Amino acid sequence: MPNSDDQAAAGLPSRYRVIARGPLPGQDAALVAARLAALFQRSVQQMHALLAAPFAIVKKGIDLASAQQFTKALAHCGCACHIEAEAPDFSALQLKRFASPGIGIVLDAPTAWRDSSDGHAYQLFDLAGGSQLTAIGVANTSLTVHDWNELRLSKVAEEMPWLKQVKRPYRLEGENWGMRVQGVATEYQGAFPGLAAHAGADAAEDGLSHHLVLSLWTRQALACLTIHAPAAAFRQNEALYRWLLQTQLSVQEHPPGPVRDEAMARWLKYNKVAV
């Protein structure tokens, strides 16, 4: 387990909080409240209020090892919970520029990430987090960012129907975008067909994937960037991913080059989007 100095140097959060999300499926709320009351030496009524809250902070400002101990204790009482990072500082994180002029995406990402881009397909891999970042781009004709986002989400629904939308589309703004770049993000979770059926109850989350789809707009170019990761890995590294998108991502002004992806080319033709 790395200490706080190691985590800061690596751009990792050093403080965490534990969030309670009500009783686990199949657990009796009264029994869970009684167990929690004994654990925390509080009244049963207070624990009923905690279980009824959709987002209750049980403990904050602790290291990861302590947070994991708290989640085990809560789970033993029958309470659903998860760990969130608290305001990590990434100022000491060493970054490298990953650019793909063909689609106009430039991202300064951790040096440990691996680049598999070829000028037409933009792909980065976070091997430690088990995450993959991909992007495509086309020239903009007359679409708004909301038009573009609707087209991208319809493609997600068509190609990955097992995904369930867990966050409605929301505006995402970069620090240096101004009005030049606009972004709309949508988030999904789901298990690839066949994985959920073979996963046991304790390993149900292991088969879940998290998809963040970010539709980006400029006057000349449209881009779609997707972060795909195991659900647990995304939650653990979410603060880093959001920091990268909001502070280290840019979209070039000039229109992207020709699209070499056949599926994307068919989609462009079907939706009459000029390249």
Q: Residue 11's pLDDT is what?
A: 44
Question: Distance between CA atoms of 189 and 168, rounded to whole angstroms?
Answer: 12
Cβ-based neighbours of 252, under 8 Å, separated by 6 or more:
101, 104, 105, 106, 221
Q: Does domain 4-85 have CATH number 2.40.50.140?
A: no
Regarding predicted confidence, which is higher, 6 or 59? 59
- CATH 3.40.1000.10 in the chain is located at 95-270
Most confident of 166-170, 197-201, 206-210: 166-170
Two tokens, residue 227: 């972060």
Cβ-based neighbours of 76, under 8 Å, separated by 6 or more:
35
Question: Distance between CA atoms of 120 and 248, rounded to whole angstroms?
Answer: 21
pLDDT tens sequence across 25-53: 999 999 999 999 999 999 999 999 999 88
Give phi and psi for 24, each to the nearest 5.
-65, 155
Two tokens, residue 14: 């050093």
Decide: residue 178, CB within 10 A, 0-12 exposed, 13-18 middle, 19+ buried.
exposed
Question: Distance between CA atoms of 19 and 239, rounded to whole angstroms?
Answer: 16
Q: Residue 230's pLDDT is what?
A: 93
Q: Which pTM does this prediction carry?
A: 0.63
CATH topology of domain 95-270: Protein Transport Mog1p; Chain A (3.40.1000)
- CATH 3.30.1390.10 in the chain is located at 4-85
pLDDT tens sequence across 185-197: 999 999 977 554 4
pLDDT tens sequence across 136-165: 888 887 899 999 999 999 999 999 999 999
Q: Residue 268's pLDDT is what?
A: 52
Query: Is residue 20 a contact partner of residue 58, using CB atoms and an 8 Å limit?
Result: yes
Cβ-based neighbours of 57, under 8 Å, separated by 6 or more:
17, 18, 19, 20
Two tokens, residue 248: 């280290």
pLDDT at 269 over 80: no
